[in-house]
């Protein structure tokens, strides 16, 4: 099966339905993936950009973003390097009320067996298994 990367703008047209002409093209592409004609490869950076645009421009709630993107990520016609990690990051993003990028970093930390992160961001305290450290604490 042919594997093809999908860009954020195509994903956003599919999710938001705007603008109409591009939405129809995006729908046909995702339908082809559903029928097994192609595998759409979704990179984590595309997912992160989609989260940002849906929240900032389209004003989707974190829960709405989690719900719609988890369905897309979990679909068999979508390929990702780490689907399980992406799904977990979307859950942490919505449930722990942190930025998606921070949730994704925490997933990568757990995968790599690392518990500590140097950061000024207090949101990391909300993420399970993460111990935030201030850079000045190096000693």
Does residue 46 fall inside a structural domain? Answer: yes
Does residue 65 fall inside a structural domain? Answer: yes
Q: What is the reported pTM?
A: 0.94
pLDDT in tens, 22-49: 999 999 999 999 999 999 999 999 999 9
Alpha-carbon distance of 99 to 52, in angstroms, equals: 9
Does residue 54 fall inside a structural domain? Answer: yes
Alpha-carbon distance of 60 to 49, in angstroms, equals: 14
Does residue 11 fall inside a structural domain? Answer: yes
The pLDDT assigned to 3 comes to 97
Asked whether the predicted pLDDT for residue 88 surpasses 90, the reply is yes
Banded pLDDT at 137 (limits 50, 70, 90)? confident
Does residue 96 fall inside a structural domain? Answer: yes
Residue with the larger pLDDT of the pair 138 and 49: 49
Q: For the domain that residue 13 is a member of, what is the CATH number?
A: 3.40.50
pLDDT mean across residues, the chain: 96
Alpha-carbon distance of 126 to 93, in angstroms, equals: 10
Asked whether the predicted pLDDT for residue 73 surpasses 70, the reply is yes
Domain total of the chain = 1
Does residue 7 fall inside a structural domain? Answer: yes
Does residue 30 fall inside a structural domain? Answer: yes
The per-residue b/e assignment along 55-64, b for 16 or more CB within 10 angstroms, e otherwise, is: beeeebebee
The pLDDT assigned to 138 comes to 73
For residue 75, what are the domain limits? 2-131
Alpha-carbon distance of 64 to 41, in angstroms, equals: 22
Does residue 139 fall inside a structural domain? Answer: no
């Amino acid at each position: 099966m042919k594997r093809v990367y999908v860009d954020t703008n195509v994903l956003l047209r599919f999710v938001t339905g705007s603008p109409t002409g591009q939405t129809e093209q995006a729908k046909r592409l995702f339908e082809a993936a559903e029928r097994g004609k192609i595998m759409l490869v979704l990179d984590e950076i595309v997912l992160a950009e989609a989260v940002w645009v849906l929240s900032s421009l389209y004003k989707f709630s974190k829960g709405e973003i989690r719900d719609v993107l988890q369905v897309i990520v979990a679909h068999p016609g979508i390929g990702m390097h780490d689907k399980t990690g992406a799904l977990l990051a979307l859950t942490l993003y919505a449930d722990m009320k942190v930025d998606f990028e921070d949730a994704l970093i925490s997933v990568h930390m757990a995968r790599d067996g690392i518990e500590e992160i140097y950061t000024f961001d207090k949101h990391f305290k909300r993420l399970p298994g993460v111990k935030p450290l201030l850079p000045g604490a190096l000693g």
